[in-house]
Structure 1
Amino acid sequence: MLTLVTVGHGSYDVDFESHPCRPGTLLLARPGQVIRLGDQPGLDAVVVYWRDGTVHVDDPYGPSRWQLAGEDEDAVINEVSQLVVDCQRNRSGERAAALLRHQLTVLLLRIALLPTGGDTGPAGTVIPAGTATPDGTVAPETAGAGTFERLRAEVERSYAQTRRVEDYARRLDCSVRTLTRACLAATGRSAKQVVDDRVALEARRLLAATDLPIADIGRRLGFPEPTNFGRFFQREVGRSPGAFRGGLRRPAAVRVPGQRRPLSAATRWDPVP
């Protein structure tokens, strides 16, 4: 889901990280992420959302925020405006659907070419080797970059089944030491911390956006005993699961993942499809 702020100032949370918003702020929320947009008088935005699988040009680990300016802002606004017009004028038929997919692809490709810098990416995001860094230089090739990307993909597939770095090392046919070096180089955190970070993120998503009992969430994430899940969550997040859920003050029965409904004026947590 893309959100382009057009008027006003405020904040927008994606996966529990708050992003400041002002005219020209562009935010991208990806499948499975949890978003929160408060009731902020005077803040207006254009929201574009689509079903997962409609297009395949986004980097799932890429930046999630840009502050547009100059020609980049003009280009993105033009693409978004044309997409909105065609959504309103062409609502049915294969040709209309093909046109909208093409326009969305062009918009996402244009966004992928935007310069990155500042707070554009989530914690732990690395600049791929061979791409431009914020200062205009080119990130050097590193031996561990490919290993880290492979680990990250495997963690995404298997974080609910295992948190043991030894299991990931075996699946990737390398040593625990190699995984740890690659993670430290990419994120400054050990391989074990990278795995635990992903489990803790999913736990927060489920606590925020579902009404599943805490024990069921723990079992879904590989903790047969609720006490073990509680200790893990307290260690990683700094609060108990119950205290975390109670502090969100969210409306009931909003689940992840699911088809995203249009934004309302009220504060709420919503899934991204």
Structure 2
Amino acid sequence: MVSTGSSPAPPFGTASPVTDEIATFALADLSRDPGWRQPVIVEQELLILTTRGHGDAELDFHLLPCRPGTLLRVRPGQVLRCVGPQFDATVVSWEPEALRGFDIDADAPVTWRQLAGEDEDAVITEVSQLAVDCQRHPDSRTARALLRHQLAVLLLRLALASADRSEPRPEEETFHRFCREVEHGYPRTRRVEDYALGLRCSVRTLTRACLAVTGRSAKQIIDERVALQAGRLLAATDQPIAEIGRQLGFTEPTNFGRFFTREVGVSPGAFRAARLQPAAGRVVRPRPPAEPTGANGGRFRPGALGEPANGGHSGRPGSPAGPARGTGRA
């Protein structure tokens, strides 16, 4: 349990003698800036459990309220900033190799969840024990096995709590396959035809699946993912705007500027300037775990400063979803 402010933290969870394959540490350790003036790009799989106090976590431009029992699932590549009043949290991080050999869907836990009752008690107990064991045991084969099994139990418990017991429709399966392909391919191509070829289906099939699940076309899904990545890099790095555009496949800065303005509603420069202003501390209620056809069709919009942005496409709905130069990374 660790603090974003100056209050003392309990002795466990601040360092780990065991290999960083699995670790627990301070929430404040995710940012070099105690004030979190700039978001950081997360580089590991994370669970963040709020244990005391109240505050906000801005994850991929969604402002999520945090209080005791709030659990955040943060994925590599997302941008995170913690704002508002002081609150304490335990962070669990792991590398994908830690779950090798376990039949676990690490993406099952939703992005934001307010735990309560027996679920909260069980998760707090397991996270606390994991933090204690990270601190107590020197690196060894036995210690690594213990931590891997503890992490597996924690993720399985969260997966059970988040499980959707209904059978997925064929359109949903096609849509999620498409999302996985987009996640790997968006820096290289924004053509629906390329993804259809890789998935061995027609453009019409992809578009029909996307419309059925999200109300948006396949091309919109791709463009929203590109715009989300652009927003991440603009907010959390000091890379020149033209360089960000080149990374995302735009040979001309003007083309990138027009694309971003069309998708987000403001220019890349204006978006970056707004994100560097001090963040508002007002708690904003997030949307509940949403169907993919959520408000505004899930389009990525930055929103007013301090308001929850309507974040872009992510691989999994559920939120109220080469090293860069000068980047803030966790």
TM-score range, shorter chain: 0.7 to 0.9
Say whether the 8 Å CA contact 1:151–1:179 is kept in structure 2: yes
Give the unaligned 5+ runs of structure 1: 117-130, 133-137, 259-268
Identity of aligned residues (%): 60
Matches within 5 A, 1:1-273: 1-38=46-83, 40-41=85-86, 43-55=87-99, 57-60=104-107, 63-115=110-162, 131-132=164-165, 138=166, 140-249=167-276, 271=329
Say whether the 8 Å CA contact 2:57–2:65 is kept in structure 1: yes
* Offset from partner CA, 1:226-259 (integer Å, 9 cap, x none): 00000111111111111111112279xxxx869x
**Bigger Cα displacement from structure 2, 89-98 vs 63-72:** 89-98
SS at match of 1:46: strand
Structure 1 residue 53: Cα displacement: 3.4
In the aligned structure 2, how far is the partner of 1:115 from the partner of 1:173?
31
Say whether the 8 Å CA contact 2:70–2:115 is kept in structure 1: yes
TM-score (norm 2): 0.67
In the aligned structure 1, how far is the partner of 2:238 from the partner of 2:95?
23
Number of residues paired by the alignment?
A: 237
Say whether the 8 Å CA contact 1:36–1:270 is kept in structure 2: no
Say whether the 8 Å CA contact 2:71–2:114 is kept in structure 1: yes
Structure 1 residue 198: Cα displacement: 0.8
* Offset from partner CA, 1:186-209 (integer Å, 9 cap, x none): 112111111011111111111122
Give the unaligned 5+ runs of structure 2: 1-45, 279-321
Say whether the 8 Å CA contact 2:73–2:109 is kept in structure 1: no
In the aligned structure 1, how far is the partner of 2:329 from the partner of 2:105?
18
**Alpha carbon RMSD of aligned pairs, Å?**
2.2
Structure 1 residue 112: Cα displacement: 1.1
SS at match of 1:54: helix
| 1:143–1:52 distance in 2 versus 1, CA, 3 Å | closer
In the aligned structure 2, how far is the partner of 1:51 from the partner of 1:173?
31
In the aligned structure 2, how far is the partner of 1:155 from the partner of 1:45?
33
TM-score (norm 1): 0.80
Bigger relative CO (Cα 8 Å, ≥ 6 apart):
2
